[in-house]
């Protein structure tokens, strides 16, 4: 089933719907709940606070960090076997525990990179794992660089938040990165944790204005997988 909201977002329970991101009036396409049960139970057991204890934190007040290293992948490359690709993906995992479910997580991530590549017509792409911790005054509305961003919240009660086009001031430059702090009275829409989203960025006419959930919405840590064309993630 496919659902369209605010005339700009497509939400569906099958991956082919992500292709709608190529449509002019769409700037957000969501595939609901793509992760396997095995991956989900693996993620449930992760302790993000513990995993990031020794990490360097970036941003105002230190609210985000990398879990592992950004990796470039050609998800449909003929030169790499499925096994090689899974191994490449696991290199980005940093110190994630090697318990049951890690293989399932890699398989799911490969699947997501392939769907991203198909939907955005890119051959080479990069991905990375970010951990966010909600802090006061660090959640700001912005658009991302390049053409497209893929994102899924792997752990955390809330996904990325976004604003409908029609709630944004028409006169403001959509390609400006910074749109101010998220306030409780803003028209906030929310991606669900565990849903995979592709949205348009600054290379397009209507980049999606989005943010990480602020402290008045959530507490604790959030693990997200980000991807982008070429080396942008």
- Burial class of residue 149 in the structure, from the number of CB atoms within 10 Å of its CB (0-12 exposed, 13-18 middle, 19+ buried): buried
Any idea what the Cα angle at residue 188 is, between residues 131 and 143, rounded to 5°?
Answer: 60
Closer residue to Fe ion, CB minimum distance, 115 or 144: 144
Could you list the residues that contact Fe ion (CB under 5 A)?
Answer: 144
Phi, psi at residue 86, to the nearest 5°?
-65, -35
CB of residue 202 to Fe ion, shortest distance in Å: 11
3-state secondary structure of 83: helix
User: Tokens representing 33?
Assistant: 């709940």
Closer residue to Fe ion, CB minimum distance, 85 or 200: 200
Closer residue to Fe ion, CB minimum distance, 20 or 200: 200
Q: Which residue has the tokens 């998800």?
A: 75
Closer residue to Fe ion, CB minimum distance, 50 or 183: 183
The residue among 197, 161, 149, 225 whose CA lies nearest residue 12 is 197
Closer residue to Fe ion, CB minimum distance, 85 or 148: 148
CA distances for 114 relative to 77, 108, 117, angstroms: 10, 10, 5
CB of residue 211 to Fe ion, shortest distance in Å: 7
State how far the Cα of 93 lies from the Cα of 189, in Å rounded to an integer.
Answer: 30
CB of residue 212 to Fe ion, shortest distance in Å: 8
CB of residue 14 to Fe ion, shortest distance in Å: 25
Q: Which residue is nearest to Fe ion (CB)?
A: 144
CB of residue 32 to Fe ion, shortest distance in Å: 21
């Amino acid at each position: 089933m496919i659902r369209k909201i605010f005339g700009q977002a497509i939400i569906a329970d099958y991956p082919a719907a992500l292709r709608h991101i190529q449509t002019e009036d769409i700037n957000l396409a969501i595939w609901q709940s793509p992760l396997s049960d095995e991956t989900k139970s693996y993620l449930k057991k992760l302790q993000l606070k513990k995993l990031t204890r020794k990490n360097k934190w970036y941003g105002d007040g230190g609210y985000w960090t990398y879990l592992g290293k950004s990796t470039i992948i050609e998800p449909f490359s003929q030169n790499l076997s499925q096994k090689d690709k899974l191994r490449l993906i696991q290199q980005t995992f940093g110190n994630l525990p090697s318990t049951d479910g890690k293989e399932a997580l890699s398989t799911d991530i490969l699947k997501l990179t392939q769907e991203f590549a198909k939907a955005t017509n890119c051959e080479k792409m990069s991905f990375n794992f970010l951990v966010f911790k909600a802090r006061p005054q660090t959640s700001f509305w912005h658009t991302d660089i390049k053409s497209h961003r893929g994102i899924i919240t792997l752990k955390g009660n809330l996904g990325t938040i976004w604003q409908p086009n029609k709630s944004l001031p028409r006169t403001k430059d959509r390609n400006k990165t910074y749109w101010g702090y998220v306030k409780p009275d803003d028209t906030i829409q929310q991606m669900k944790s565990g849903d995979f989203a592709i949205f348009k960025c600054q290379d397009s006419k209507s980049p999606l204005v989005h943010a990480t959930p602020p402290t008045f919405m959530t507490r604790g840590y959030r693990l997200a997988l980000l991807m982008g064309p070429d080396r942008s993630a």
